[in-house]
Every structure is written in C-alpha cells, then in structure tokens.
Amino acid sequence: MTNATGFAPRAVLADRLRTHGLATDAALVAGGALFTAAMAQFEVPMWPVPITGQTLAVVLVGATLGARRGVLSMLVYAIVGLAGAPFFAGMSGGLHMLSVPSFGYVIGFIPAAGVIGWLARRNWDRKVGRAVVAFTLASAIPFVTGLPYLALTLGALGLPNDLQSVLAAGLYPFIVGGVVKALIAAGIVPLVWSLLRRR
C-alpha cells in the first residue's frame, strides 16, 4: 500500500533498497557505525569535548535507517569502539574511553538515532521545514547525557564542575555548530527524497 507520493507509509530511505532481509539490515547497521567512526575523525581538537562530525553522522544514520537499525548502529559504534577499535575522535578506542569527559555524548548518540529514526518514519525528514525541527531536536539529545557525564568526570579529575563551568565546556561552544549540522542534514535528506520521487 502506498501513499500519494508513491512510497509505502512510514518508510525511511533504507527501505528503498531493492534487497531486504537480515543480511541487508546487518550491513546497514555496520555501515552506519563505520560512517559515524569516519565522521568522528573530522575533528577540531578541544578539551574536554572536541568538535567532531559525529552528531551529523548520527542524525543522518538514524533518519536513513530508521529507529531500530539506527539505535543498533550506534550501539555497535559504541561497543566496538570500547572494545578497542579506533572509532572515536582522534582514532581513539578502548575501555579507558569510559573515563574521558566527552564519552557521555557517545551514550547520547543511541537515543538520538532512535528519536530521529522514529520521526523519519513519520515523514519528518521529507520536507525541509519539518526536517530542520526534527534534526535540531535529535542533535540536542546527546547533551542530555553528555553534560551530566561531563560534570561527573570533571569532578573526578578535581576540576571545576559547577553548572556554569560544565555549560561553558560542554554546551556553549557547540550550539552554532550543532545548528549548522542540523541544517546540513535537513538539506541532504529531503533532497534525496525529492530525487527518489523524480525517479
């Protein structure tokens, strides 16, 4: 059953593939994790939290794969990185990353991918206006886990971890970049849908 646009309702971009099944899903999940790992290497080194391309990758993966595959992809990304693969910023990886102040944002990638995937299945990714709202919301989610984690790790290091210090280190420098990345994603995904419709 299709809607007026000719697409099955609640489809995401990955559903437009000609092949379906467990192997395809596994490849998509792995591909999403690898894409996020690659985008993590686009880094502006800062301490305690670097600016990277990860958030852009997370929202693109979630919107493209949908909530379930998007969440699985971010779980694979985090677990394989903690296992030692150089998946995180600066080609880093290993269990010691749990003590890095920025790791809380990685935890937040998992629900962020789920939320944007859920919204994408409800067509929030097909028109630029609604896509901007959806991608901005999803881009903000990693801060929900990232900021408390940052406060805890800074405190453990004996560094200032009051609210203003945490916001100055983990939020304010990322607002403009986060909005820009959300706008980029909100331009890319609706454009791809538009091209598919023309086909």
Rounded Cα distance between 26 and 72, Å, is 9
- The structural domains of the chain, with segments of one domain joined by +, span 13-191
Rounded Cα distance between 70 and 64, Å, is 8
pLDDT tens digits, one per residue of 34-91: 999 999 999 998 889 999 999 999 999 999 999 999 999 999 999 999 999 999 999 9
Rounded Cα distance between 193 and 197, Å, is 6
The model's confidence at residue 4, banded by pLDDT at 50, 70 and 90, is: very low
Rounded Cα distance between 93 and 87, Å, is 6
| Alpha-carbon distances of 53 from 140, 162, 177, 180, rounded to whole Å | 14, 27, 10, 11
Q: Is the pLDDT of residue 135 over 80?
A: yes
Q: How is residue 48 written in tokens?
A: 């305690």
Q: What CATH number should be reported for the domain whose range is 13-191?
A: 1.10.1760.20
pLDDT tens digits, one per residue of 20-33: 899 999 999 999 99
**What is the structure's pLDDT at 9?**
52
